[in-house]
């Protein structure tokens, strides 16, 4: 099995819409990178336009890619990516899913981000994740046109249609847990395009929930109520992310890994935010001790994965191997 680590490398505290955009968290990435390098797990930094525009990007992140220690890809936050739109990007609105903005505007914004990354890194990015997991079927052809080969916006078992702020988030409940070629009409379904999807690892570690889709759906609809919350505390009936939330201990993360191994998945993907590496830059790690615990947990988990003979892979490198094992004719780059 291979480990893919994707870091949404973005501005500070994007959970709040207040004040000027800052990217101080970039300076807190090197200790994380050192842990990754020590264990042989090169990360993929998926970067927003505001991060790419910061001089610290050139100084801190670009050398990692040039030394072969990491990959740099694209992460589209519409609200900070030119051209800014008077309606969609106004500061009084809630952050938009990338899938909500008009397709023509999405293309222009992604082209801007792609060119910015190419200018700074000396080559076009080939890996992508949508802001707020908002990948639309209309984006597949645009990504291919701009030279992308792999997306990682899909979160199996989860739907963002009832996330609260918006009605048009994506429903990935039926998406496979293993990599696949994206269908033209549905990013959560395998199909005929040549864009590779490498889903974030979200699994049911509770065996009974895996065998009972009806109960899993009941939990999804009832998860905000006391009874469902109690069941989850006792039996972990919610889908489990391979993500180092504060309440995800090293043992719980390894439970997700062992479930992935039992399911014979070829990869396990960890995803979180660069801002979680800076005290106070996210709601997840408000204090220096919280960040220290995060780094210690990652160090322990990576050490345990290495002992399990897991190897590291950058996102585009994995996608290239996937495409080599199951090539797609260039004609599939366009809809039939």
pLDDT digits (tens, 9 = 90+) for 20-68: 899 999 999 999 999 999 999 999 999 999 999 999 999 999 999 999 9
CA 243 – CA 252 distance, rounded (Å) = 10
**Whether 161 contacts 167, CB under 8 Å:** yes
- Which among 69, 50, 39, 66 is positioned nearest to 8, based on CA atoms? 50
CA 265 – CA 308 distance, rounded (Å) = 14
pLDDT, residue 167, reads 46
- Residue 61 is given by DSSP the state I
- Per domain, the residue ranges of the chain are 2-202+240-331, 205-238
Distance between alpha carbon 303 and the CA centroid of its chain, in Å? Answer: 22
pLDDT score of 257 more than 90 = yes
CA 81 – CA 105 distance, rounded (Å) = 10
- Percent of the chain scored above 90 by pLDDT? 73
Which contiguous run of DSSP H or E holds residue 8? strand 2-9
pTM of the model: 0.92
- Residue 243: other Cβ atoms inside 10 A: 19
CA 8 – CA 275 distance, rounded (Å) = 8
CA 273 – CA 129 distance, rounded (Å) = 12
pLDDT, residue 309, reads 98
CATH architecture assigned to 2-202+240-331:
Alpha-Beta Barrel (3.20)
Map tokens 């955009």 to a residue.
Answer: 21
């Amino acid at each position: 099995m291979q480990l893919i680590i994707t870091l949404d490398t973005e501005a500070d505290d994007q959970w709040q819409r207040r004040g000027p955009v800052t990217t101080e968290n970039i300076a807190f990435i090197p200790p994380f990178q050192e842990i990754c390098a020590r264990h042989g797990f090169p990360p993929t930094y998926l970067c927003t336009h505001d991060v790419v525009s910061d001089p610290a990007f050139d100084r801190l992140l670009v050398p990692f890619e040039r030394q072969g220690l990491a990959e740099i890809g694209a992460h589209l936050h519409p609200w900070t990516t030119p051209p800014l739109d008077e309606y969609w990007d106004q500061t009084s609105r809630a952050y938009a899913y990338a899938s909500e903005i008009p397709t023509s505007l999405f293309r222009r914004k992604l082209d801007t981000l792609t060119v910015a990354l190419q200018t700074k890194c000396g080559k076009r990015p080939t890996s992508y994740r949508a802001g707020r997991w908002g990948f639309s079927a209309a984006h597949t052809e645009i990504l291919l046109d701009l030279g992308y080969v792999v997306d990682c916006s899909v979160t199996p078992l989860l739907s963002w249609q009832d996330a609260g702020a918006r009605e048009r988030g994506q429903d990935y409940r039926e998406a496979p847990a293993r990599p696949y070629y994206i269908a033209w009409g549905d990013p959560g379904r395998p199909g005929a395009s040549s864009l590779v999807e490498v889903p974030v690892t979200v699994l049911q570690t509770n065996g009974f929930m895996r065998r009972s889709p009806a109960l899993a759906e009941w939990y999804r609809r009832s998860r905000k109520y006391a009874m469902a919350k109690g069941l989850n505390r006792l039996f972990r009936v919610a889908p489990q992310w391979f993500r180092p939330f504060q309440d995800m201990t090293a043992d719980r993360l390894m439970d997700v890994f062992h479930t992935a191994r039992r399911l014979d998945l070829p990869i396990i993907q960890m995803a979180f935010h660069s801002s979680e590496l800076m005290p106070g830059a996210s709601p997840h790690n408000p204090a220096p001790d919280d960040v220290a615990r995060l780094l210690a947990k990652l160090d322990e988990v990576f050490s345990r994965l290495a002992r399990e003979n897991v190897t590291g892979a950058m996102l585009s490198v994995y996608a290239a191997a996937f495409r080599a094992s199951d090539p797609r004719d260039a004609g599939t780059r366009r809809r039939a």
